[in-house]
Structure 1
Amino acid sequence: MDLSARRQPPTVRLRRLAGELRGLRSAAGLTREEVSAQTGINVATLYRIETAKVRPQKRTLIALLDKYGVTDEDRRSELVALSRQAAQLGWLQPYESELPEQYMTYISFEAEARSVRNYEGLFVPGLLQTEAYARAVITGVLPLAGQQQIQDRVDVRVQRQASLRRKTPLRLWAVLDEAALHRTVGGPGVMKEQLEQLIRAAEEPHVTLQVIPFEAGAHPGMPGSFVVMDFPDPADPDLVYTDSMAGDLFLERDADVRRYAMIFQHLQAAARSPADSLTMISARAREL
């Protein structure tokens, strides 16, 4: 087995590095098989590097840059630095064996995002969940999970929320179906605490919260929840994440990103204004 690369959940920088290396190989007119034959790097490893599934060690990256004729020292230094910066979040490492790969990938992208547009039909968005609500949701959704697995997922969900408190906080625009307010997750006490947390979160200038009322009828979000995220560097294209019983999916094609961005605009239009949405949430909290 080629040990020149280490498997890790993709990060934004690793995704960018993979795209750069694909482009350089294409510009050099080489197939993966040809590169493998001429450098000794395993074809499967090249595939994993070019699809952001592994981070190349420095010697592997240098060998590829040599093969692709990258002689400009500034360009070489830029790509080596990009690889070095592509390491996964340190706090995630203890959970690596417990969390699904796709979820790890999502967390890595979310941590580097500039903004997140999140639609949820049945749950409060993970970035806004209280610990008690998160525990109740995870326990209900994963009935076969052990106590330690549940605790690990709760810990990770809480730690993800640090992105909303950093110096330049993540900008979150969340649209919820009213159903998420009426599903009494964890019992009335837990749900009341969660709704009060939503009200506090919405007071932050980087958080916008809207609710689609039942009377809005059918709307484009009914097939399922999704996230559209963008990143600070224009070199990193927007990304869509969808979550369903069939599995998690990342969409990167421009057409897919545009489609989900347009769907989110329709959901914003169908929802109550942020002020009216907070009135709805407050009224529901008083009922509990």
Structure 2
Amino acid sequence: MSLDEAAAHLERSRATVGHWERGHSRVSAKDLEALLALYKTPDDVVEQLHQLRRESGQRGWWQSYKLPQYLAPFVGFEAEASEIFHFELGVIPGLLQTENYARAIHEAGRLVLTDVELQQWVDVRLKRQERLSEDGALALHVVIAEEALRRVIGSRKVMVDQLERLAEFAARPNIRLQVLPFEAGSHEGLHGPILLLRFSDPGHCDVAFSDTPLGGHVIDDIRDVAELARLFASLQARALDEADSAELLRSIALEHASRVKE
């Protein structure tokens, strides 16, 4: 049975099943049951495999949070990635958000959250940022459309703090931040964000993630991922260089600051 056939039967992505097989992510009890049934596993092996699953190392930190089912696999992939390429059209990328900005985003999100759930979602977003400052820091290439910098999320004060944080991130050697200005006109990212993950393991293919109002899913088709990579490279070429991006960022931050009391 091919990987694609197994993934289709289990209603999982090809990348997810591939990660189970290579030991890059931990299989759930429910998914293991489905695999055992699919592969007609002998009874004397079933319990051994269940025991192995129970003993299969530590849970990922994200598993202690109540994340949506569609998001947990992506956070797992992100935790393993060595390099991320991210374009955002209308908001600041999650890995670069301040706590107040992240809270305002989730308050306006597609789900109605309790105060406890809201704080958990914000905590997860902040926890994910730790990879940007740890040893062997994650390399992050970001292109942010100018409208995301000008759109007021939360309040003008929230935006001032957010843009100041962006400037701090942009000064780090592992982060390349570019702004796509209005003057760039029509561009490849008009239909939404692009998010690609690359891994240090040469046997681990790049993956992408698509986030929509109805949920999200991992994209692992080689051709689709390659096309998204091409689009991201085009957006990088259209965007301002890092120095000019930093200057525009400062200018927009000053505009927000001048209107804080309005």
Using structure 2 for the length normalisation, give the TM-score: 0.80
Aligned length: 232
Cα shift at 1:94: 2.5
CA–CA distance in structure 2, aligned partners of residues 279 and 180 of structure 1 = 16
- SS class of match (2:70): helix
The gaps in structure 1 that reach 5 residues or longer are: 1-8, 21-31, 42-55, 63-79
**Match for residue 98 of structure 2?**
130
Is it true that 1:175 corresponds to 2:143 in the alignment? yes
Cα shift at 1:165: 1.2
Question: % of aligned pairs identical?
Answer: 33
**Match for residue 259 of structure 1?**
227
Q: 2:49 aligns with which of 55, 60, 84?
A: 60
AA aligned opposite 2:177: L
Cα shift at 1:131: 0.5
Aligned partners of 1:226 and 1:243 also within 8 Å:
no
Cα shift at 1:247: 2.3
- Per the alignment, do residues 168 and 57 of structure 1 end up closer, same or farther by CA in structure 2, a change over 3 Å counting? farther
The root-mean-square deviation of aligned C-alpha atoms, in Å, is 2.9
Is it true that 1:16 corresponds to 2:28 in the alignment? no
- Equivalent residue runs for 1:207-218 within 5 Å: 207-218=175-186
AA aligned opposite 1:39: P
- Equivalent residue runs for 1:229-248 within 5 Å: 229-248=197-216
CA–CA distance in structure 2, aligned partners of residues 279 and 84 of structure 1 = 49
Cα shift at 1:270: 1.2
Residue deviations 1:101-131, cap 9 Å, x none?
1211111111110000001111111111011
- SS class of match (1:176): strand
Relative contact order: is structure 1 or structure 2 higher (C-alpha 8 Å, sep ≥ 6)? 2
AA aligned opposite 2:240: R
Q: 1:188 aligns with which of 156, 160, 171?
A: 156
AA aligned opposite 1:18: E
AA aligned opposite 1:104: A
- SS class of match (1:110): helix
Cα shift at 1:33: 7.2
The gaps in structure 2 that reach 5 residues or longer are: 1-11, 24-35, 257-262
Aligned partners of 2:110 and 2:213 also within 8 Å:
no
Using structure 1 for the length normalisation, give the TM-score: 0.73
CA–CA distance in structure 1, aligned partners of residues 160 and 174 of structure 2 = 23
